[in-house]
Amino acid sequence: MNPQTPINNLPGIGSYYARKLKKLEVETVEDLIYHFPFRYDDFSKIFSISNVKQDEKLSIQGVLWQIKNLRTKKGKFITLATVADQSGTVEVIWFNQSYLTKNLKPGMQISLSGKATIESSKVKLISPSYEVIRTGTLKRKSNSEHSTLHTGRLVPIYPETEGLSSKWLRSKIAVILPLYVKTVTDFLPEKLIKKQQLKSLDWSLSKIHLPENYREVELARKRLAFDEIFLVQLMSIIRQKEWLEKMSAPKIKINKSRIITFTQNLPFTLTNAQQRAVSEITSDMKKGIPTNRLLEGDVGSGKTVVATHAALIACDNNFDTLFAAPTEILAFQHQKTLETLLKPLSVKVGIWTGSKKQKGDITCGTHALLTTFKTKRQVGLVIVDEQHRFGVAQRAKLFLDQSSKLKPHLLTMTATPIPRTLALTLYGDLNLSILDEMPKGRQKISTFIVPNNKRQDAHIFIEKEIKRGRQAFIITPFVEPSESITTVKAATEEFDKLKEKFSTQIKLGLLHGKLKTKEKESTINKFKANKINLLVATPVVEVGIDVPNATIMLIESADRFGLAQLHQLRGRVGRGKHKSYCFLFTDSKAESSLKRLKSMEKIHVGFELAEIDLKMRGAGEIFGLRQSGFENFKVADFSDRKTISAAQIEAKTLINSDPNLSKRPELKERISKLQEQYSQPN
C-alpha cells in the first residue's frame, strides 16, 4: 500500500469524508495511520452478567433475546433490549436510536461496553457501545483473543470532528493498518533501535491503535515519540549545516565610539544578561556567515534594546535593517521605541504596514514587509519579533528575498518563555541567547485568583484605583460570544456589561483584532493619554502596549489561557512606579486548573511558569497559537528530557557518520517530507 495514496481513493471514504478528514489534517493513507489515539477506554474486563457490580466500567458478551422501540409521552424513542449469557440477563436502554432495531436482530451474539447500574437486583446498561460478534450460539473468548474492535478491549479514542466519530475512524484504521504495516520500512538504523531499546516501527504503529494492554501503549508511544524528536533534531542539524556551508553574509565592523554614544544615552544601565546577548550577537555579525540567533527573554527583560544595538551596528556599516512584528500595534510600538533610543545618533526609523509606508535606515513593519517593501541598499539584518507567529516560509522570504549574493544576518526574538530543552528541540538550527535577568526596579505584580463571589469586590477596587489616577485592563478570550463555550466572556459583551457596573466617571474603551487600524490606534492613544481609564480587550494587548500608568490587569476565564500567556498579559502592568495587581477570574472548579493558576500567585519568572505548563498541559499550550513545527508533534512529551537528550545525541552521531544520509534513503525521504511540512506558512 502506497503511504501517499490520497485518502479519498480508499473504499468507503469518497469526497464527503475526505473533506471531513482534511479538517483533522488527514489527506493520505499515512496521515490516517499517524492519526493517533489520545486516550483509551478500558473495556477489557469481560464479565459474566451475574458478577457485574454497580458503576463498573466493563464489557458483557451475550445473545440478544429481544429488542424493540418504545415512544415516550414527549414523542422520543427509547430502544429496549434484553441480552443473556449463561449466568443471567441484562436490560439495555438506548435513547433516540430507533434504527438499532434494523441493525440488531434476536439471536445475534453481541458485545456491549459501558458503565453498569443495578436497580432492584436487575442489571442495566444505559447507552452502551455495542458490536455484533456473530449470529448463533454464544462462545466466550479470553481477553487476549479479540474478536471485537469497539468493545471488550482497550478501545482507542481519537481526535474527532463533526461527522467523524472515533468509531468511524477505528473502523477505517483497522482495515488499512495491517496492509500499511506490511509495506512500511523502518527508517531508524537497527543499531540505534537496539541501543535505545525501542520497538520496531510496524509493531509500534499496530499497537498504538490496537493494543492488548497499557504496557503495549507505553512501548508504542516511546518509539513514536523518539521518532518525532529525532527527525526534528536531524532536520535542524542538516538545516544548520546547509546554512553554514552555502550562505555568506556581510562582515560587520564595530564602530566603538557610536556604540559608546548609544549606551551612554540610554536611560538605564544594561543588565549582565543584555550585555552577554549583545556580545553574542556582535560576535556572530563579525563573521562572514549569516547570524541565525534566537533571543529569548521574559516580559520586560529588555530584548528590544538588544535588537536596537544590532540594528545600529548594521546601520553603521551602510546596511538596512528590517524589523518585522506580527501586529501593527507592535510594529508602531517598535518604531517609536527605536526612534527614542536612536535619536542621539540621527538614525532614521521607518514604518511599513498595510496602513502606513515610510522607509528608513531601519524599517519596522508587519507582514507587508514580505510583499510590498523594496529596498535600494543591501539588507544587512532582519529582526523578527514574536517569531512563532511567522511561519518558516515567511521568515525565509524576509531572509532570502534579497537580490545580493550576501544574505542578511537573522535575529529572531520571543517573549514567550520557552524552557531551554524545548527551545533546543524546536529550534536546533538556531543559536540561543537568553535574557534571564530583569532590569533593576521592575516590581513584582501582586496576583490573586478571584472566585465569582469576590467579583464585585474586585470591580470596586478597580474603580477606587482609577479614581486615584491609575488605569486598568480587562482581558477576555474572544471578540464575539462563542455558542460552544458559553462560560467564556466576550470582549464586546463584557464591554456593554461593564458600562453598567462602573460609574459614569469611568471612561471605558474597547480593543480587539477586528477593529480597523485607525480605530485601534485611536483607542491605544486615548488609553496612553488616560482619556480611557479602563480598556476592555482581547489578548491583542499581549504585546505592544506600554502604559506605565496602568496598574491593574484583570483576566476573565483565566483557566483557558496558558501560564506563559497569562504571564505576558500580566507584564502589561507594573511598568511604572505604582504598585500593580493582576486578578485572575475563573469559573472553573477543577482542582488541576486551580492548582495551575495558583502558580501565578507565587511565581513571577516566566521560564518557571512555562516549565509548569509543559508538565501539566503539554507543549502546544505554551504558545496557544500555531507554532511552526509544533503541530507535527502528536506523541512526544517535552518534559521527557531523557528522550530529548537521547534523540539529540543519536541525531548528531548519525550525521557525523553519514553527513548526506546516503546510506539511509528511507530516512532521507522522511527528512525531505518534514522539511516541506515545516516550510508551510501559517
What's the pLDDT at 418?
72
Residue 63 has pLDDT above 90, yes or no: yes
What's the pLDDT at 629?
40
What CATH number is given to the structural domain containing 583?
3.40.50.300
- Same domain (yes/no): 486, 526: yes
* Helix, strand, coil distribution of the chain in percent, nearest 5: 40, 20, 40
- Same domain (yes/no): 31, 174: yes
- Same domain (yes/no): 431, 453: no
Is residue 278 in some structural domain?
A: yes
Domain count, the chain: 4
Strand partners, 112: 60, 130
Q: Please tell me which residue, 358 or 575, carries the higher pLDDT value.
A: 358
- Same domain (yes/no): 591, 499: yes
- Same domain (yes/no): 2, 133: no
pTM > 0.75: yes or no: no
Over pLDDT 90: what percentage of the chain?
48
Is residue 27 in some structural domain?
A: yes
What CATH number is given to the structural domain containing 56?
2.40.50.140
- Same domain (yes/no): 176, 29: yes
Cα–Cα distance measured from residue 89 to residue 85, given in angstroms and rounded to the nearest whole number:
6
Cα–Cα distance measured from residue 514 to residue 595, given in angstroms and rounded to the nearest whole number:
34
Is residue 33 in some structural domain?
A: yes
Q: pLDDT for 478-500, tens place per residue?
A: 655 543 444 345 778 888 888 88
At 464, is the pLDDT very low, low, confident or very high (cuts 50, 70, 90)? very high
Is residue 138 in some structural domain?
A: yes
Burial per residue of 350-364, b for 16 or more beta-carbon CB atoms within 10 angstroms, e otherwise: bbbbeebeebbbbbb
What's the pLDDT at 624?
40
What's the pLDDT at 386?
74
Is residue 659 in some structural domain?
A: no
Is residue 239 in some structural domain?
A: no
- Same domain (yes/no): 277, 390: yes
What CATH number is given to the structural domain containing 23?
1.10.150
Count of CB atoms situated within 10 Å of the CB of 147: 14
- Same domain (yes/no): 550, 519: yes
What's the pLDDT at 434?
87
Q: Measured between alpha carbons, how far is residue 370 from residues 292, 335, 354, 396, 677 in Å?
A: 19, 18, 11, 10, 20
What are the backbone angles phi and psi of residue 204, rounded to the nearest 5°?
Answer: -65, -40
Q: pLDDT for 509-552, tens place per residue?
A: 988 877 787 888 889 889 999 999 999 988 766 555 778 899 99
The last residue of a domain, from among 435, 458, 490: 435
What's the pLDDT at 672?
87
Decide: helix, strand or coil at residue 118. strand
Q: Please tell me which residue, 83 or 246, carries the higher pLDDT value.
A: 83
Over pLDDT 70: what percentage of the chain?
87
At 172, is the pLDDT very low, low, confident or very high (cuts 50, 70, 90)? very high
- Same domain (yes/no): 465, 416: no
Q: Measured between alpha carbons, how far is residue 375 from residues 2, 225, 379, 396, 488 in Å?
A: 47, 45, 8, 17, 45
Cα–Cα distance measured from residue 536 to residue 289, given in angstroms and rounded to the nearest whole number:
46
Detail the DSSP E strand segments found in 96-180. Answer: 108-119, 122-126, 129-135, 154-157
Cα–Cα distance measured from residue 177 to residue 190, given in angstroms and rounded to the nearest whole number:
23
Q: pLDDT for 177-225, tens place per residue?
A: 999 999 999 999 999 999 999 999 999 999 999 999 999 999 999 999 9
Q: What rounded mean pLDDT belongs to the chain?
A: 85
The last residue of a domain, from among 395, 415, 435: 435
- Same domain (yes/no): 12, 55: no
- Same domain (yes/no): 290, 356: yes
Is residue 351 in some structural domain?
A: yes
Q: Measured between alpha carbons, how far is residue 7 from residues 28, 156, 207 in Å?
A: 5, 21, 22
647 in Cβ contact with 222 (< 8 Å) = no
Is residue 622 in some structural domain?
A: no
- Same domain (yes/no): 313, 373: yes
Domain that holds residue 314: 256-435
Mean pLDDT of 138-147: 47
Residue 67 has pLDDT above 80, yes or no: yes
At 619, is the pLDDT very low, low, confident or very high (cuts 50, 70, 90)? low
Q: Measured between alpha carbons, how far is residue 18 from residues 23, 26, 385, 530, 586 in Å?
A: 9, 8, 37, 53, 39
Residue 143 has pLDDT above 80, yes or no: no
The last residue of a domain, from among 387, 415, 435: 435
Q: Please tell me which residue, 64 or 389, carries the higher pLDDT value.
A: 64
Decide: helix, strand or coil at residue 144. coil
